[in-house]
Amino acid sequence: MADSPSRTVLVTRPEPGLSDTCEALRRLGWEPHLSPMLRISPIPMKPVGKIDRIIVTSGQSLESLCSGIPLSTPLTAVGARTAERARMMGFTTVDHASGTAHSLLDHLGHTEKPHRLLLATGRNLGNDLANRLRGMGWQVTRRVVYRSQPVGPLDSSSRSLIEKGHVAAILFYSAATARAFLDAFGPERSLLESVRALALSPHIGETLRTAPFRKIDIASTPEQQALLALLGPLPGTDHTEA
């Protein structure tokens, strides 16, 4: 727990990614407080035929893929951090888009050849992306490889930090996480009036506007570096991002 009322930052994302964010915050001088709002469970992937490329919209997909797909299969990730995790898990041919589903469409473009894509995604996710890729000429097989569930009521330590005014900001990396946080917080949302919310995308920001945060800021690009740039180093310190 932070000693200064302006030092603590709540991190609501689950692993993988939670530890990475916490380390980045510490390098900037902030005190991260872990408050993951979703529980991620891998789902064994159903068999697929021959594919030419894997499309991954979240790092959550990688665990199931590693046990069911040859690691030499080309993989396109939604963003740089997911691509880096894919390489760390053994995939040998990896490229990436700029962090959004729209950027994936731009990155892949239209095709005249019968390329077969495997879209690995979460439950109730990815249908629109799959249909749009099919409209661009790709043969797409969608497989659900993980599910996410809200963890339930907000833990007492996170609530206490907010009630005491000890939270400078809360980081939100997905609309699902934002919804889970607001549901978990409950009806006493006036307590959020002193808290700054930082969102990775405009869609997440719109989800947060149902609560009276002191301020809602949106990252300039859907990448962690841009989100943490909204915070910068803790004022009064000489910390800089590594």
Q: Where are the domains of the chain?
A: 52-147
C-beta separation of 66 from 92 below 8 A: no
Task: Give yes or no for residue 2 having a pLDDT over 50.
Answer: no
List pLDDT tens digits, range 112-152.
Answer: 888 999 999 998 889 999 999 999 999 999 999 999 999 99
pLDDT band at 47 (very low <50, low <70, confident <90, very high): confident
Q: Cα–Cα distance between 19 and 168 in angstroms, integer?
A: 19
Q: Cα–Cα distance between 39 and 15 in angstroms, integer?
A: 9
User: Residue 221 corresponds to which tokens in the numbers above?
Assistant: 């690009």
Fold of the domain built from segment(s) 52-147: Rossmann fold (3.40.50)
- The per-residue pLDDT for 238 is 59
Q: Cα–Cα distance between 58 and 38 in angstroms, integer?
A: 14
Query: Of all residues in the chain, what percent carry a pLDDT higher than 70?
Result: 95
Q: Cα–Cα distance between 210 and 179 in angstroms, integer?
A: 10
- The per-residue pLDDT for 237 is 66
Specify burial of residue 231 (Cβ count, 10 A radius: 0-12, 13-18, 19+).
buried
Write down the mean pLDDT value for the chain: 91
State the Cα angle at 51 between 47 and 54, rounded to 5°: 90
- The per-residue pLDDT for 4 is 47
